[in-house]
Amino acid sequence: MLTSIRTQLILVLIALVALLLVQGYIARENQSVLSRGMAASSRAVVDVGIVKELERDVIDLQRNVLIYKENASQSAVTRFERLMLSINKRLEELADPVTQSGEIDDTYVLSRMHKHLSAYQENFRQVIDARSRKDDLIIDGSLSDLLAVKRLFDTANENFTLPQGTIDKLNFHIAMAENAILRYLMKPDMALITQFNEAITAIKAITIDNQTLHSQVNDLLEKAEADLFKLTQITQGNLFLVNVVMAGSANEFLYLSGELANQVTSKTESIAHNTYLVAQETRRNGEIFSLVSILLTLTAAIFTAYRILGPIRTITEVFNRLSEGQNISSIPGNSRNDEIGNLARAAHVFSDKNKQTESLLSEARELNGRLASLNSELTESKIKAERATASKSIFLANMSHEIRTPMNGIIGLIELAQQHPVPDIVSGYLDKAAYSSQILMSVINDILDFSKIEAGKLKIEEVSFSLHSLFDNLIAVIALKAKEKNLAVRFIVSPSIVPQVIGDPLRIAQIIMNIGSNAVKFTEQGEICIRFNGSINDKGNLLSLTMIIEDSGIGMSERQLARIFNPFTQADDATNRKYGGTGLGLTIVKQLTDLMGGSLSATSVEGKGSTFTISLPLRVFKNQPGIFDLTPQLPTSSMYLTSSPLLPDIYQSIIQISQSNIMDISAAQSLDALPKHLIVDIPSFSVFKENVRWLHELAAQGTHVGLIMDTVGSALQDKYNSLWKGPLIMHPFTPAQFEHFMSMVVSNETRQATTNSADVIEDVSLEGHILLVEDNNINQIVTGEMLKMLGITFDIAEDGNQAVRKIENAPHYDLVLMDVQMPVMDGYEATKALRKAGFTTLPIIGLSANAMKEDKQSAIDVGMNDYLTKPIKRKALVDMLKLHMKH
């Protein structure tokens, strides 16, 4: 606690404030003591004055008492009373606790003074009272009594003469008594009373004959005695009161007033002395406190300077230096426990941080450098990558060109070779070579497609096409492959699908083909079912086409299933080894589906088979008829003879076969009468052989009989075809084939003998002279051979430059077949030059191994009339030539 500078400063401040307060208090006390002393002193002066006045008044009192005693002056009494009032007032003033400068002793003195004073007053009243009684007694007392006695004797003397001696004695004694009284009045003395008493006794001793007179005189004498006794009593009392009691009171009063004056004076002195002492002490205390304050302030200042300001300045300098980034070797005050210590430690931390910051900064710089180099490396890498990508694209394009060009040669030559009669064994080799070439081309195409998709260069076409053709191609490919493995294929199309849609037929076909091919590829036995479902939206302009390909193949595990859409990945390596393939198929399918805004999902049970579901949104034309709308329906009585229907339920309902009309073929044979239309399932050749006779009989009787067969190999198919001429359909079949089949059943036609026109090479003969611009010798030979076989003559130009010169030199060509990729001058340049040179009407057909779509567009852009992709197919060439050559 105390180690904190804050606390220390607060303590110092508190001490200073306390000192100030104490000093203030002392000054205040000093002042109040002084003012009290002053007040007491001035009060004491007043008190002393009052006491002196008291003394004067008391002496005046005594004077007046004496005056009264002497002549009973009423004015003395008045004066006495007034003095009394004034004295009492002064005593009260002195006793007033507010103005009283004295203490308990004084009040005791004062109370005694009061007592004496009131006693004095009381006694004076008695004196007055006694004086009046004394005056009464002087008038009506002993003297008048004696006078009365004298008169009595005078009267008696007049009435009856008394002896002169008696009269004289009487007068003498009365005179003696009167003398005693008067002298007593002048100066009280017991001897005079004795004289009086003796005189009275003497008077009493005078014998008086007259009894009445005697008793009267005696009474009067008695009264005179009593009156004198009273007089003496009053006189004594008065004397006692005045001379003893009152004088004593006055004495004591004066003594007490002197005491009071002394007390007041001594008190004043002591107050003054005390005041002086207190003032001195206060001054001394004040000085001490001032000294202490100054010392403390100095100490505080020194403390502040040495303990706080100095260190703070030092620390500030340290911080300044730190902020300037200078290195601090040692920091002062580090070991202190207070705020300075904290500051020093903070400075230390700051310094450490500075060092850390510096090292961090250098590290950061280093890192930055590294980052910059990394960045540049990255940029370089990016550029490299971009270059690589570009190179890859170029490479791919080149590859496509470079591979296709020889492949074209190979395929073309094989095709040409096959058209010549060769031994069977050679023909077999050629077939295998052709097959291998086809596989190689498809691999190349896959890689190319993938590259294009990866490069974002693949464009989805939006063209109107018929699903029928898609189905035909699909069936042709899938069925062919399935038949080779004796797999049953079911192809089921929902009637809700409309035939004409807008989209990219090639890519859709590619998707279906790919998945269908996979299904076949990974299925060893069982069947493959391909379903087309679809629903048209409420507006009727969008078909959500769902394609479900279900197989009973090897299936996949969950893990495998999760990986199948990744590029270059098959279910696993073992699969790859066993089944081959690039692993790009499903990746391409997935990417194409995504590009078309559709979705692709797969479920699989290992060992049981897989199901792939593709959904594609396709725009459709409104108000189209359904795909089965044209399929004829059977009369309701028609029967479907089967034990296990090969015809899907949905197809049954399309042709109006009800469940009640389905029965076993043997059951049908036992029927008496059969309907006019019969659909019969032939699940196997044995069933066919058993029933063919009966079926022929029925047909002969005019019954319309249509046979539905499972997928069979081409050999068995030929057998069926030869043994049954009536309507016949085999799985898989397209809606169009089904429609055709049903039409035959309804119309009861027999099939014409069909020939495989595809296998017969059309013998085409054309006339014309064309320029073949081709740098590759093999391709010159292949294309040239095709042209020769078509009966067309041609010149060859090795590059664009030659082509332009030849045409300019001999402008008699009917058409130019222009390879686009050539040395010296490519096809585009040559075309541009030719068009520029005025050969605007000369048909120029571009030839390119580059399968990319934009190549065709580029060709059109530079002025070419059309475009053929290598390897050039004979048919495509014929069509192209027929189209552009003038006949």
Partner 1 sequence: MPPSQRLSSRPRRSFIKGAAALGVSAGVAPFAIGKPTPTLRVMGTHVTLQEEIRQHAMADLGINIQFQPGGSATVLQRASMDPSAFDLYEQWSNSINVLWRSKAIQPIEKKKLTYWDEINDLTKTGKVTEAARLGAGDAPHKIINVQADGSLGVEHTDTISFLPYVHNVDSFGYNTSQFPEQLKNQEESWGWLLDSRLSGKVGIVNDPTIGLFDLALAAQAKGYISFENIGAMTTQELDNLFSILIELSQLNHFSGFWTSVPESVQFMKSQRVSIESMFSPAVSALNSQNIPVKFAAPKEGYRGWHGVMCLSSAAQSRSKDVAYEYMNWWLSGWPGAFIARQGYYISNPERSAKYLSQAEWNYWYKGLPASESLKGPAGKVSVQKGEQRSGGSYEDRFSNIAVWNTVMPTYEYSLQKWYEFITS
Site residues (CB under 8 A) for partner 1?
62, 108, 112, 116, 119, 126, 188-191, 229-230, 233, 235-237, 239-245, 247-252, 255
| Residue closer to partner 1 (CB basis): 112 or 676 | 112
List C-alpha distances in Å: 616 to 511, 535, 542, 598, 601: 11, 11, 10, 4, 12
Structure tokens at 745: 């059943």
Centroid of chain to Cα 352: 35
Q: 304, exposed or middle or buried, with CB in 10 Å at 0-12, 13-18, 19+?
A: middle
Based on CB atoms, which residue is closest to partner 1, 64 or 437?
A: 64
Nearer to partner 1, 270 or 603 (CB): 270
Strand 500-503 vs strand 609-620: parallel, antiparallel, or unpaired?
Answer: antiparallel
Do residues 564 and 586 lie in contact, with contact meaning Cβ atoms separated by under 8 Å?
yes
CB of 165 to partner 1, least distance (A): 29
- Indicate the SS3 state at residue 562: helix
* Minimum separation from the CB atom of position 214 to partner 1 (A): 21
d(CA 197, CA 174): 11
Give 108 or 568: the residue with its C-beta nearer to partner 1: 108
State in angstroms the smallest separation of the CB of 248 from partner 1. Answer: 4
Shortest Cβ 24–partner 1 spacing (Å): 43
Rg (the chain; Cα; Å): 82
Strands 599-605 and 639-641: unpaired
Mode of pairing for the β-strands spanning 639-641 and 662-663: parallel
Decide whether 118 or 359 has the Cβ nearer to partner 1. 118
Mutual angle of helices 142-159 and 104-140, in 10-degree steps: 10
Beta bridge partners of 609: 605
Q: Do residues 872 and 786 lie in contact, with contact meaning Cβ atoms separated by under 8 Å?
A: yes
> Whose CA is closest to 635, among 513, 748, 472, 507?
748
Pair 252, 148: CB distance under 8 Å: no
Distances (CA, A) of 861 to 198, 472, 834, 835, 846: 198, 34, 14, 12, 11
**Cβ-based neighbour number of residue 804 at 10 Å:** 22
**Which lies closer to partner 1 via its Cβ, residue 75 or residue 251?**
251
- Overall size of the chain counted in residues: 887
Report the nearest approach of partner 1 to the CB of residue 273 (Å): 22
Cβ partners under 8 Å of residue 703, min gap 6: 674, 675, 676, 677, 678
DSSP conformational letter for 814: S
Task: Give dist(CA 620, CA 596) in Å, integer.
Answer: 15
Closest approach of Cβ 73 to partner 1, in Å?
19
Q: Which H helix or E strand runs over 853?
A: helix 853-862
- Write down the least CB distance from residue 68 to partner 1, Å: 15
Question: Long-range contacts for 738-742 (Cβ within 8 Å, ≥24 apart)?
Answer: 738/628, 738/631, 738/651, 739/628, 739/630, 739/631, 739/632, 741/706, 742/631, 742/632, 742/633, 742/634, 742/655, 742/706
Q: Which residues of 182-200 are buried (b: 16+ CB within 10 A; e: fewer)?
A: eebeeeeeeebbebbeebb
Shortest reach from residue 121's CB to partner 1, in Å: 13
Residue 255 or 429 having the CB closest to partner 1:
255
Nearer to partner 1, 247 or 663 (CB): 247
Indicate the residue among 15 and 239 with the shorter CB distance to partner 1.
239
Q: Give least dist CB 69 to partner 1, A.
A: 10
116/401 with CB nearer partner 1: 116
- Whichever of 240 and 579 has its CB closer to partner 1, that residue is 240
Minimum CB separation of residue 71 from partner 1 in Å reads: 18
Nearer to partner 1, 242 or 654 (CB): 242
CB of 185 to partner 1, least distance (A): 12
Nearer to partner 1, 42 or 243 (CB): 243
Least distance between partner 1 and beta carbon 125 (Å) = 11
Give the Cβ contact number of residue 243 at 10 Å: 11
Return the axis-axis angle of helices 685-700 and 714-723, rounded to nearest 10°: 20
Helices (H), 748-852: 777-789, 800-809, 827-836
Nearest CB to partner 1, comparing residues 255 and 303:
255
Rounded least distance, CB 180 to partner 1, Å: 13
How buried is 618 (Cβ within 10 angstroms: 0-12 exposed, 13-18 middle, 19+ buried)? buried
Token pair listed for 64:
């007046």
CB of 281 to partner 1, least distance (A): 31
CB 460 within 8 Å of CB 595 = yes
- Tell me the C-alpha distance between 818 and 741, whole Å: 47
The least distance separating partner 1 from the CB of residue 191, rounded to whole angstroms, comes to 7
Q: How far is the CB of 200 from partner 1 (least distance, A)?
A: 14
Nearer to partner 1, 245 or 815 (CB): 245
* Closer by beta carbon to partner 1, 235 or else 427: 235
